[in-house]
Amino acid sequence: MKKCTNVRRTLALLMVVAMCAVLAGCGKEQKPAEDSSLGEAAAAKIAVVFASSGLGDKSFNDALYSGMEEAKSEMGIEWVYSEPKDDAEYEGLISGYADGGEYDLIICLGGSQSSSLENVAPNYPEQNFVILDAVVGGDNIRSYTWRDEELGFLAGILGAGLSASNTLGFIGAHDIPLCNLGAAGMIAGAHYVNPDCEVLVDYANGWAEVNGCYEIATSMNEQGASLIYHTASAGGLGILNAGREKGFLTVFFDGNLNGDAPDTNIASAIRDFPACAKEAVQDLIDGSFTAGSIVKGIAEDGVYLDFEGSAYEIPADVMNMYNEAVEAIKSGSLVVPATVDEAKTWSAS
């Protein structure tokens, strides 16, 4: 009796699958092959796999999107993209684009794609890849990373220059080397202006801890921090809001949100994702695309502080110090330390 029901159960499920198949079989031929109207003329075909945080984040996904749209109109490329729902989709998407062999370049956004790209890239030696914000080795991969410590340095200069309390705050997403680049830079920058300036450092322990960052920023402000900088990813929105509501200064990281708190957010730290993507595309068109790791800093115009949209007036003497430091970093006479331990004993020589 039991055997009988088991067989019937299995049969029933099989029939469902079969029915689906029949249903689908009735349909017309699917997938009208690619619109080739543009395909012939396109200078290059690019595929982009966004980070699973998705478009609409006002931060790096959106920045890359607009960069690719610019590349489309300026260089006449054609580009397609996909927005993964979760991190487990990365590998399928990257290898899916590589399978067809029709894309000249596949751009992967975000460090969380690094292990997936590492799995896929060796299987497609002829395919070029670019990964933004992580270093992945391979003969066909170009990696872009940024000197986040230089941005922290500039934020530290502004903070120390403007501070009456001689106390600043820094919030990282996690206590990991990548997030601490910003902390190291900020400590060094603060000491560059005023050796007695203290930087409070804390971590949100999450990439999108908006509420957590709000709380940490508020309590830092109560401890005297007059300006708070961060590398807390999406959590930075909480710091921005706390600054606007409690009236302390902030520098936002990754994307220009000066307009959201024009009176308290004095600048936004920008890592130029779109420029790197465009550079890679241009190199590809010119035939000069090479694999390897590229690090962008102030000298390469890869990172900068964006003041546009902020209504806060920075005094001229602070701006002078800031501009001096930018020039010194550009010329190579000033090298910003990349770890907190170095930063604590660092002094500009």
Partner 1 sequence: MKKSGIRLSVFSLILALLLVGFTIAATGRNPVSVYGAILAGSFGSVKGFLNVLAYMLPLVMTGLGAAVAFQSGVFNIGGEGQVLVGGLASVIVGLLVPFPAPWGYLAAMTAGFLAGAVWAVLPTLIAGRNLASLSVATIMMNSIAELLTEYIVKQFFQREGASNTETVVVNDGCILPRFFPSTQFNYGIFVAVISVLLVTWLLYKTPFGFSLRAMGNNPRAMEQAGVPIYRRTLAAMFISGGLFALGGSIQCLAVYKRFVMGFSPGYGWDGITVATLAANSPAGVLLSAFLFGMLRSASINMSLTNQVTTEMISVLQGLIVILVASPMVWTTMRNLLDAAKGRVSLLFQKKAEVDVK
Cα-Cα-Cα-Cα dihedral of 179, 184, 187, 193, to 10°? -120
- The answer to the question of residue 112 lying near partner 1 (CB under 8 A) is yes
Exactly one of 60, 65, 110, 151 binds partner 1 (CB under 8 A); that residue is 110
Exactly one of 42, 178, 200, 335 binds partner 1 (CB under 8 A); that residue is 178
Nearest approach, Cβ of residue 298 and partner 1 (Å): 20
C-alpha R_g of the chain: 24
- The answer to the question of residue 39 lying near partner 1 (CB under 8 A) is no
Tell me which residue of 53, 57, 107 sits closest to 79, measured CA to CA. 107
Minimum CB distance to partner 1 smaller for 20 or for 348 = 20
Enumerate residues 6+ apart whose C-beta is below 8 A from 218. 242, 246
Strands 265-271 and 303-306: antiparallel
Minimum CB distance to partner 1 smaller for 1 or for 316 = 1
Which residues pair with residue 201 across a beta bridge? Answer: 170
Minimum CB distance to partner 1 smaller for 199 or for 338 = 338
Residue 207 contacts residue 231 (beta carbons within 8 Å): no
Q: Which tokens belong to 2?
A: 């039991």
| Total residues in contact with partner 1, by rule CB under 8 A | 59
Residues in contact with partner 1, shown as a per-residue x/- string from 233 to 272 under the rule CB under 8 A: ----------------------------------------
Angle between helices 316-331 and 177-193 (to 10 degrees): 120
Minimum CB distance to partner 1 smaller for 76 or for 177 = 177
Which residues pair with residue 128 across a beta bridge? Answer: 105
Nearest approach, Cβ of residue 123 and partner 1 (Å): 5
Minimum CB distance to partner 1 smaller for 234 or for 326 = 234
* Sign of the alpha-carbon torsion through 270, 271, 272, 277: negative
Residues in contact with partner 1, shown as a per-residue x/- string from 74 to 103 under the rule CB under 8 A: ------x-xxxxxxxx-xxx-xxx-x----
- What span, in angstroms and rounded, lies between the C-alpha atoms of 200 and 171? 8
- The answer to the question of residue 14 lying near partner 1 (CB under 8 A) is yes
Q: Which tokens belong to 262?
A: 């024009």
- The answer to the question of residue 42 lying near partner 1 (CB under 8 A) is no
Tokens 């198949």 found at: 21
Nearest approach, Cβ of residue 40 and partner 1 (Å): 20
Nearest approach, Cβ of residue 328 and partner 1 (Å): 27
Strands 128-132 and 141-146: parallel
Site residues for partner 1 per CB under 8 A: 2, 5-6, 8-10, 12-17, 19-21, 23-28, 30-31, 52, 80, 82-89, 91-93, 95-97, 99, 110-112, 114-116, 119-120, 122-123, 133-135, 174-178, 205
